[in-house]
Structure 1
Amino acid sequence: MFTGIVQGTAIITQIIEKEDFRTHIIEFNDDMLSHLSIGASVAHNGCCLTVTRIEDSKVSFDLMQETLHVTNLGELTVGDRVNIERAARFGDEIGGHQMSGHILFMATISQIEKSTNNCQIGFEIPEQFKRFVFTKGYIGIDGISLTIGDVKENTFNVNLIPETLQRTNLSSRKIGDKINIEIDPQTQAIVETIERIMASKLT
C-alpha cells in the first residue's frame, strides 16, 4: 500500500532493454535506501514495482509488457527523474490517501498555469474513465495524492503548492506529457457497484 506522499525523485541511470521487457536501474539517496531489501515494493510515478537487485546506491526494477503499455514508464529514458515512494508500513502516518500502485490509465497534460505561489495543471482523460473523476475527490497523479479541482466533460485540473513542485517531477512536466493516473480505490468501487446495480434493474 502507498499513501501518495512522494518522498522525492530519483534518476534513471541505466535501462536494459529486452523483448517486451525492461530493467530500470535507479540511483537512490540514503533515505530511500534505508532498510531497503530485494523484494520490497517501491512506487515509480505511482506504479508499484519490485526491487530485484541492489548494488550500492543503484537499485534495479523489472518492468513487464503490461506495465510498459499502461504506464508512462515505458517512455522514460536515461537521465529522467521518477517520483519515488516506499511502501507504507504499519503505524505510518497516512498523509495522502490509500493507493495501491496499480495505474488505471494515462492522462495528457492539456494546460499549465503558473503564478507566484500556485501552479494549476489541467488534464485530458479517456472518455471511459471520466465517470470516476469528481470535484474534491482524491486522485493519484504520477504517484502524488492530490485533490481534484474543476471537472468539465473529460478534463479536470489540480492545484499544486510550491512544496509539491519541489519534491516531485511535476515541475518539469510540459503540455502533451502523458501522466499515470490511479483512481481512488473506494471511488472506483462505489461507482462500479452503482453501475452494476442500475444495470441489473434495467434487465
Structure 2
Amino acid sequence: MFTGIVQGTAEVVAIHEAEAFRTHVLALPEELREGLALGASVAHNGVCLTVTAIDGERVSFDLMRETLKVTNLGAVTVGDRVNIERAARFGDEIGGHAMSGHVMALAELVELEQAPNNRRLWFEVPPALGRFLFDKGYIGVDGISLTIGQVRSATAEHGPRFCVDLIPETLARTSLVDRVRGDAVNIEIDPQTQAIVETVERVLNARGV
C-alpha cells in the first residue's frame, strides 16, 4: 500500500529494452535506499514496481507489457525524473490517502494557471472515469495524493475534467513542477470513492432505477 505522499524524485539513468518489456535503472538517493531489498515495492509515478537488482545507488525495476501500455512510464527516457514513494509500513503516518499503486488510466494536462505561490492544473480523463470525480474528493496523479478542486462535466468538445491546486512544497518535491500542456499523467481513483460509486450503481440497477 502507498499513501500518495511522494518522498522525492529519482533520475532514470538507464533503460534496457526487450520485446514488450523493459527495465528501468534509477539512481536512488541514499535516503530512499535505506533498508531497500530485492522484491521490495516502490511506486514510480504512482505505479507499483518491484526491485529486481541493487548496485549501489543504481536500482533496477522491470516493467511488463500492461504497465507500458496503461501508464506514462512507457514514454520515460533516460534523464527523466519520476516521483518515488516507498511502500507504507504498519505504524506509518498516513498523510495522504490509501493508494494501491495500480494506475487506472492516463489523463492529459489541458490547462495550467500559474500564480505567485501556487499552480492550478486541469486534467481531462477518459469518459468512464468521470463518475468517480467529485469536488474535494481524493485522486492520485502521478502517485501524488491530491484533493480535487473543481470538476467539469464532459461536453461535446471535451471529456470530464478536474483541477488540483499545488502548494510550493508539492512543486518542490514532485515532478509536477515540470509538467506542461499536453503531458500525460497516471491516474488512480480513490479506492473508497470507486467502491461507493460502484456499489450505489449496482443497487440502483438491481432496483431498475
Confirm or deny a common fold (TM above 0.5): yes
User: Within 2, Cα distance between the matches of 1:11 and 1:39?
Assistant: 20
Aligned counterpart for 2:162 among listed residues 156, 175, 194? 156
**Offset at 1:156?**
0.6
Structure-to-structure mapping, 1:45-60, within 5 angstroms: 45-60=45-60
**Offset at 1:196?**
1.1
**Offset at 1:117?**
0.5
Q: Give ranges in structure 2 of 5+ residues lacking alignment.
A: 154-159
User: Within 1, Cα distance between the matches of 2:91 and 2:128?
Assistant: 37
Q: Which SS does the other structure have where 1:129 is aligned? A: helix
1:184 aligned partner: 190
Q: Output the amino acid matched with 1:6.
A: V
Q: Which SS does the other structure have where 1:202 is aligned? A: coil
User: Within 2, Cα distance between the matches of 1:197 and 1:28?
Assistant: 47
Instruction: Calculate the TM-score normalised by the size of structure 2.
Output: 0.96
Q: Output the amino acid matched with 1:5.
A: I
User: Within 1, Cα distance between the matches of 2:19 and 2:197?
Assistant: 37
User: Within 2, Cα distance between the matches of 1:69 and 1:4?
Assistant: 22
User: Within 1, Cα distance between the matches of 2:14 and 2:136?
Assistant: 39
1:175 aligned partner: 181
1:93 aligned partner: 93
Matched-pair identity in %: 62
Q: Output the amino acid matched with 1:192.
A: E
Instruction: Calculate the TM-score normalised by the size of structure 1.
Output: 0.99
**Offset at 1:136?**
0.2
Describe the superposition over 1:131-188 as per-residue Cα deviations: whole angstroms up to 9, x where unpaired.
0010000000000000001101101100000000000000000100000000110000
RMSD of aligned C-alpha atoms?
0.8
**Offset at 1:98?**
0.5
**Offset at 1:89?**
0.6
**Offset at 1:198?**
1.1
**Offset at 1:199?**
1.2
1:118 aligned partner: 118
Describe the superposition over 1:97-138 as per-residue Cα deviations: whole angstroms up to 9, x where unpaired.
000000011100001111110100000111111000100000
Q: Give ranges in structure 1 of 5+ residues lacking alignment.
A: none
**Offset at 1:201?**
1.3
User: Within 2, Cα distance between the matches of 1:7 and 1:82?
Assistant: 11
User: Within 1, Cα distance between the matches of 2:173 and 2:80?
Assistant: 15
Structure-to-structure mapping, 1:20-99, within 5 angstroms: 20-99=20-99
User: Within 2, Cα distance between the matches of 1:69 and 1:59?
Assistant: 22
**Offset at 1:200?**
1.3
